[in-house]
């Protein structure tokens, strides 16, 4: 849903720029709006640098078209651009550099073709489930990671890093395309670590692939509002316990470790997810949750409908 500022009545929204707004853009801070104003004039240059001689009229990202000559026409474009600004701490020059890099990469891998690519049978079948919504209406994605999953993933990454990264990119692209950028542009993640050892969790070898890091952290920025690691190893929980006593959980994508007690898990998660939406297994009241094994070798069409508001 899009509306114009003149139609809004509250004192806060009356201070918004005189351009089309939606539920997400209306919540931008003034610092974010200022950064967006600095980035928009750079869009023609971003388009030229990213596409060289094959310059399209618009920039397309995750189902949203951004017109470099009229970037305020669709407020969803502002939501997408804000992701890159937040990823670079509202530094417009750094966000420009990141945008050019991302657009070049998407062209190089032919992202639309990648969405329909068939991969060999994977050895990693990760239990995951979309279940319920958080208090802001975002989908909640639950994932069960075990030490065995991580070891197998590391083996596959070392054996064929290109295929591994392509699989991961497609999964992230599916998520990005499933969001409407009007009311929802992120998800909440809950990672069950009940079968994860601390030694495997902290193994630095996992972070050595720079391209995987760029794809997962830079090329798909700001897609997690909240991230919780539940049933986490005691040492991981203890390392963050003291600071968590004084910190309010914010939708900034930071990972919060929670221990193994169901009551503790439920209390922490219920600050973000209503108990009626939270599975019984994790201290809530919702029934019907079960782990589904996701095979990431074939494209999925059902993911889009599940994440819509």
Q: What is the pLDDT along the chain (309 residues), one digit of tens a residue?
A: 555 444 343 344 445 668 999 999 999 999 999 999 999 999 999 999 999 877 788 999 999 999 999 999 999 999 999 999 999 999 999 999 999 999 999 999 999 999 998 887 766 677 889 999 999 999 999 999 888 888 888 888 888 899 989 999 999 999 999 999 999 999 999 999 888 887 777 676 655 678 888 999 899 999 999 999 998 776 655 455 444 444 456 677 788 888 888 999 999 999 999 999 999 999 999 999 998 765 544 443 333 333 333
Distance of CA 297 to the CA centre of its chain: 21
Strand partners, 71: none
DSSP state of 279: B
pTM equals 0.84
> Is residue 126 classed as helix, strand or coil in its secondary structure?
strand
Copy the structure tokens of residue 213: 């890091």
Residue spans of the domains in the chain: they are 3-109, 125-307
Q: What is the CATH number of domain 125-307?
A: 3.40.525
List, as one string, the DSSP characters of 234-261. Answer: HHHHHHHHHHHHH----SS--EEE--S-
Give the C-alpha separation, 3 to 282, whole Å.
39
Give the C-alpha separation, 35 to 56, whole Å.
25
């Amino acid at each position: 849903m899009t509306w114009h500022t003149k139609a809004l009545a509250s004192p806060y929204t009356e201070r918004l720029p005189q351009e089309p707004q939606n539920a997400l853009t209306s919540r931008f801070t003034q610092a974010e709006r200022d950064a967006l104003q600095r980035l928009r004039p750079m869009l023609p240059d971003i388009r030229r640098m990213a596409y060289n001689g094959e310059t399209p009229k618009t920039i397309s990202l995750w189902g949203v078209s951004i017109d470099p000559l009229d970037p305020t026409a669709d407020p969803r474009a502002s939501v997408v651009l804000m992701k890159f600004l937040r990823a670079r701490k509202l530094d417009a020059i750094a966000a420009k550099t990141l945008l050019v890099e991302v657009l070049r990469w998407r062209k190089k891998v032919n992202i639309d073709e990648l969405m329909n690519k068939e991969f060999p049978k994977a050895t990693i079948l990760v239990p995951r489930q979309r279940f319920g919504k958080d208090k802001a209406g975002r989908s909640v994605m639950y994932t069960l990671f075990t030490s065995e999953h991580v070891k197998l993933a590391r083996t596959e990454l070392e054996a064929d890093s290109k295929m591994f990264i392509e699989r991961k990119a497609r999964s992230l692209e599916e998520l990005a395309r499933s969001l409407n950028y009007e009311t929802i542009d992120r998800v909440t993640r809950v990672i069950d670590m009940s079968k994860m050892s601390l030694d495997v969790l902290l193994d630095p070898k996992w972070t050595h692939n720079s391209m995987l890091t760029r794809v997962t952290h830079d090329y798909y920025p700001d897609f997690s509002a909240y991230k919780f690691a539940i049933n986490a190893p005691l040492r991981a929980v203890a390392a963050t316990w003291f600071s968590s006593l004084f910190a309010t959980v914010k939708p900034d994508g930071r990972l919060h470790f929670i221990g193994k007690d169901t009551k503790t898990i439920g209390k922490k998660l219920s600050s973000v997810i209503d108990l009626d939406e939270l599975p019984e297994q994790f201290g809530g009241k919702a029934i019907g949750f079960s782990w589904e094994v996701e095979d990431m070798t074939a494209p999925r069409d059902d993911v889009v409908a599940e994440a819509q508001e």
